Amino acid sequence: MLKGYQVVLRDINQDDLSMLRDWRNSAEVSRYMLSQEQITAEQQLAWFNKIQRDESQQHWIIEYKQQAIGSINIKANTVGKKLTEAKELEVGLYIADNRYRGNIVAFAPTLLVNDYCFNQLGVEALIAVVKTDNQAALSYNQKLGYQLQKQQDNLQHIRLNQANYEQATSTIKQLLSRPSKH
């Protein structure tokens, strides 16, 4: 479990699978995914069973004010590498709750995961692949310090190192580190 910036990231458990599948299959979330196929309950369970024993990735539920609002994950960028051995990790995120898309709360889980990756896992860089038409995600990642590496077809490959991350996020970290008003 990771805590900070007013959010909690907790490991996904079997009780979350139906909620995750509903989120992932919703039009608001799936339209920006690389694969838009609808996920069945069987596929969701098979995925869950796989990630339980896969040391190359970690998945969390994002909680804000004790409510599940989305999901975030990290994966080793090199096949066969454990998270603890990888030099680069790919980050994936979606905020399923419309109230928190496009506002400062949406940055909190990413800041928490990025801090974990750079400071605890010691990675050199974080990467992401974003659909070119997902302008909200591209703008979001730019605010975190990501730089464009290459564009292929309708995908942008972006990369973030720790120095760019720390420089780009100092103000937003201060805002999210203040005690929240309930």
| pLDDT per residue as tens digits for the range 114-129 | 999 999 999 999 999 8
pTM comes to: 0.88
pLDDT at 78: 82
Rounded to an integer, the average pLDDT of 152-165 is 94
Measured between alpha carbons, how far is residue 156 from residues 34, 55, 76, 131, 151 in Å? 12, 26, 18, 6, 4
Domains, the chain, with CATH or none: 2-177 (3.40.630.30)
**Per-residue pLDDT at 182 exceeds 60:** no
From 44-48, 78-82, 88-92, 107-111, the region with the lowest mean pLDDT: 78-82
